[in-house]
Amino acid sequence: MNRTAGTLEALGECDAVILVEGRGKSSRGQAQKEHESIAALEKPVVGYVML
């Protein structure tokens, strides 16, 4: 999410977010940074999915 400017722009139009992470591909630190980016835009994270 933090790598693509288009994704960050789309967040501005969302009401809430569900984060989807790849098991063994996403670290806890990366997920935390994504959550912080979403919180900075004052969007709630309503759930996490680990694939």
Q: Where are the domains of the chain?
A: 5-50
pLDDT digits (tens, 9 = 90+) for 7-35: 878 888 999 999 888 888 777 888 888 88
pLDDT band at 2 (very low <50, low <70, confident <90, very high): low
pLDDT value of residue 18: 93
CB of 42 within 8 A of CB of 9?
A: no
What's the CA gap between 42 and 51, in Å, rounded? 26
29 vs 46: which has the higher pLDDT: 46
What's the CA gap between 20 and 31, in Å, rounded? 9
pTM, entire model: 0.72
